[in-house]
Amino acid sequence: MAFSLDNLLVIGISSRALFDLEAEETIFQNDGLEAYRQHQLDNENNVLQPGAGFALVRALLKLNELTPNHRFVEVVIMSRNSSETSLRIFNSIRHYGLDITRAALSGGAPLSPYLEAFNVSLFLSLHEDDVQAAINSGIASALLYQMPDNAMEDLGQIRIAFDGDAVIFSDESERIFQEQGIEAFEQHERENALKPLPEGPFARLLVALSYLQNNFKSEDGRAFPLRTALVTARSSPAHERVIRTLRAWNIAIDETFFMGGVAKSAVLAAFKPHMFFDDQHGHCIRAASFVQTGRVPIKQ
């Protein structure tokens, strides 16, 4: 019987997001494909250092160890490498003991056509065009920023933080704020407080994470080992619609921070997520010094 990826949280991650391949990327950009190919062949037994998405992937894969004979997470390498230049990636995967056996190696072609074929729930990459194409296809995707110094800290728990508008929720209200200002935004949210916000690109991922949490709830109702946080620039009176929307979706986020325009960095540093997803570059670049960060592009 064929192995099914249905009912699994499938993470698609580029090799450059899983491992530090920045030196190799420089060789490719400056010297061309043949120089890159030869470099990878010459160094295929040299283990790569962890990259921006490594800590999150390693933490999520540990969920498969908690329940015998039951997998919750599958990770697929989605790489523009050819099979010839990919051995170094697989050797590094084996070195770190990562339970990753599947890969899509496109030989330089775009990766987005293969995301749906692997039932990808979340795609992480350092290639902006692949991330944009994934978002345009309706798949949760983020462009990763470089690792902060504390990215490899072992937290003993998976922690993921999200911005609200244009990430968990659609960018409908965000557009009103950007085009008409804060007063129009707050008036709109007051008038629509009882109407759930439309889903954003990461809504289905949040539902999937909530499903995983329910599989690990203890008798006191606490969900271990996965914890989520919403860190949003919203404040009162725009908070009510968020709370009612999550209630309508039957999702309980563990920690919620209505920042009201205050910088998110200090709260994120305290929460210590494996990954923080936000749609605005300004927020991302400030957060990236403290926590691993991924930018969610607007659907085009």
Which are the catalytic amino acids?
Answer: 163
Is the distance from CB of 294 to CB of 142 less than 8 angstroms?
A: yes
3-state secondary structure the chain: CCCCCCCCEEEEECHHHHECCHHHHHHHHHHCHHHHHHHHHHCCCCCCCECCCHHHHHHHHHHHHCCCCCCCEEEEEEECCCCCCCHHHHHHHHHCCCCCCEEEECCCCCCHHHCCCCCCCEEEECCHHHHHHHHHCCCEEEEECCCCCCCCCCCCCEEEEECCECCCECCHHHHHHHHHCHHHHHHHHHHCCCCCCCECCCHHHHHHHHHHHHHCECCCCCECCEEEEEEECCCCCCHHHHHHHHHHCCCCCCEEEECCCCCCHHHHHHHCCCEEEECCHHHHHHHCCCCCEEECCCCC
Cα 211 from chain centre: 17
Phi-psi region of 270 (alpha: psi -120 to 50; beta: other; left: phi over 0): alpha
